[in-house]
Homo-oligomer: A and B are copies of this chain.
Amino acid sequence: MQFTAQEIGSLLNGKVEGDATVSVSQLAKIEEATAGSLSFLANPKYEQYLYTTDASIVIVNDDYQLAEPVKATLIRVPNAYSAITVLLDLYNKIKLNKTGIEQPSFIHPSAKIGENVYIGAFAYVGPNVTIGNNSRIYPNCYIADNVSIGNNVTFFSGVKIYFDCKLGNDIIIHSGAVIGGDGFGFAPTGDGSYQKISQIGNVVIEDNVEIGANTTVDRATMGSTIIRKGVKLDNLIQIAHNVEIDENTVVAAQTGISGSTKVGKNVIIGGQAGIVGHINIPNGTQLQAKTGLSRSIKEEGQKWAGSPASPYSEHMRSQVVLARLPELEKKVIELEKIIAGLKGVQ
């Protein structure tokens, strides 16, 4: 796809300075851009590159004053950063604008498919599934019996949704994510072996959720594992049975949340954190990467770190002393000697 400076200027309601006929086919960072690229200057730190870049077009703020002449065509807009966000979205929409049903795919006759939908080859849509309008199911996805999916949902290739799960609108799930696998529930028997506890609940995912590649969200034993609206889960995360994650909470990669734990709204959880089951994490909590949390947190909006977790400032104080620990031990040994000496003197 080629766009001229004229076309992009119109799209952004911007003012073109320089050759309006020059065209670009890709977006690039200003310090890396080659001819044929569109770039932007939003952060003054990168100003120097404006004068050396090979980008064919650069988007700058309205009020930006040139220090010297530039090779590139400029497009002036009120806010270069916002403008580029608009362009990124547009670019992505063009990239991901697949529709139609590819063959071979498997769509059960009882499934209800909305309008303007993409279903890729080797995708499986089971009995009584409903898929809303403008949704995109990439190749090799599996959607089991009775799953409902709203409008404008994107499943990238290889997403697996077990039976009975309920998904809202505007959801993105990345490749390899597994939604609705059995919770890890086993009852010990007398002889040391375990008996499986059937997991007959489901997973409910509300609007505007994004779930990363190869993340797993287990179905509830009974009832629902719930991911509320606006939640963002990164890659390779484990969400166990009957967990509830409230609105707009963000979880970084490789974190695990054990069964029946309730996570509040606007919580931020770093990568590789581990959270035990049956506890509460209140609204606005922040857990640092690698935090190991083994009991409920009472107060909202606090920052925690370490394993076992403690309030962030306490954790940092302990860490600082920990680094001085060998030195501290030496001091104590010296003190012992001195005191032994003092006692000897007496």
Contact = CB atoms under 8 A, between A and B. Distances in A.
Interface of A: 27-29, 32, 85, 88-89, 91-92, 95, 102, 104, 106, 120-122, 124, 138-140, 142, 144-145, 156-158, 160, 162-163, 172, 174-176, 178, 181-182, 184, 186-187, 192-194, 196-200, 208, 210, 212-214, 216, 218, 222-223, 230, 232, 234-236, 238, 240, 247-248, 250, 252-254, 256, 258, 265-266, 271-272, 274, 276, 289-290, 292, 294, 307-308, 310, 314, 317-326, 328-329, 331-332, 335-336, 338-339, 342-343, 345-346
B192 A266 contact: yes
Contacts of A199: 92
Given A27-B222, A106-B122, A240-B253, A322 B323 contact: no
B163 A156 contact: no
A331 B331 CA distance: 11
Contacts of A124: 120-122, 139-140, 157
Chain B CB count within 10 A is highest, among A102, A216, A248, for A216
B272 A272 contact: yes
Contact of A184 (B28, B29, B212, B318): B212
Contact of A200 (B88, B156, B338): B88
The 8 closest A-B pairs by CB, nearest first: A88-B198, A142-B157, A178-B213, A160-B175, A92-B198, A181-B213, A106-B121, A238-B253
Contact of A216 (B212, B292, B323, B346): B212
Number of copies of this chain in the oligomer?
Answer: 3
A313 B160 CA distance: 42
B318 A326 contact: yes
Which DSSP category, helix, strand, loop or mixed, fits chain A's interface? loop
Contacts of A121: 106, 124
24 contacts: A27-B200, A91-B198, A92-B200, A120-B124, A122-B124, A124-B140, A142-B175, A174-B181, A182-B212, A193-B230, A236-B256, A252-B258, A274-B290, A289-B294, A308-B319, A317-B326, A318-B322, A318-B323, A318-B325, A321-B326, A325-B325, A335-B336, A339-B339, A339-B342
Contacts of A197: 85, 88
Contacts of A328: 321, 328-329, 332
B223 A29 contact: yes
A29 B326 CA distance: 46
Contacts of A208: 193
A61 B88 CA distance: 62
Contacts of A336: 331, 335
B325 A186 contact: no
Contacts of A198: 85, 88-89, 91-92
B329 A234 contact: no
A250 B214 contact: no
Given A175-B181, A339-B339, A140 B122 contact: yes
Contacts of A85: 187, 197-198
A116 B121 CA distance: 24
Nearest to A98: B145
